[in-house]
Chain A
């Protein structure tokens, strides 16, 4: 029983470490696109690990299956990448510049070939 408790709290700690790393990337990376790479992927993984650890703790140790927490896990898993994608698209369309050492910009060519109505 005590081993299960340690393993579950270890999952929570792993997720918290990932959240701290993603905030480090958010501070240090040079560009809004690179920053959203850090903010979307690793923060989602960290938060999912934390919520999964809490869910497993309440299930295995306190013997209570929480549907609300499961619903929260599914919701964060679905919506966080969508929000990151929307924010990146809005940043590109509103003309936020890329980092000066970026080597490739696929959307640039496409935009000049077929000018959109905006």
Chain B
């Protein structure tokens, strides 16, 4: 029964990943794709958590942590890129208003 519930959770998360991939390929603007990429990373994180619960191992917890950090950094970098056209900026451009 518990195994069945976990398999159902895995299937629901896989459906969520498919929805995110649909919006990632289809999305009209770049911001749609970034939002769906963020949700894709977050849902993958949940999927890995459920997998580690199903196998009863702690080996995947590092993956959860690193994937959370990388998803956040990727979203911030892409959002800055479409807002200003650059990702990292030098020191003398830091004081324009934003």
Residues of A within 8 A of B (CB): 5-6, 9-10, 12-13, 15-17, 19-20, 22-24, 26-27, 32, 35-36, 39-40, 43-44, 46-47, 50-51, 53-54, 57-58, 62, 64, 66, 68-69, 71-72, 75-76, 79-80, 82-84, 86-91, 93-94, 96, 116-118
Say whether A39 contacts B39, CB under 8 Å: yes
Say whether B65 contacts A58, CB under 8 Å: no
Q: What are some 24 contacts across the A-B interface (CB < 8 A)?
A: A12-B50, A16-B8, A19-B13, A20-B12, A23-B15, A23-B16, A23-B39, A26-B19, A32-B29, A39-B38, A43-B43, A50-B49, A54-B52, A68-B64, A69-B49, A72-B64, A75-B72, A82-B76, A83-B76, A84-B35, A84-B38, A90-B31, A91-B29, A117-B97
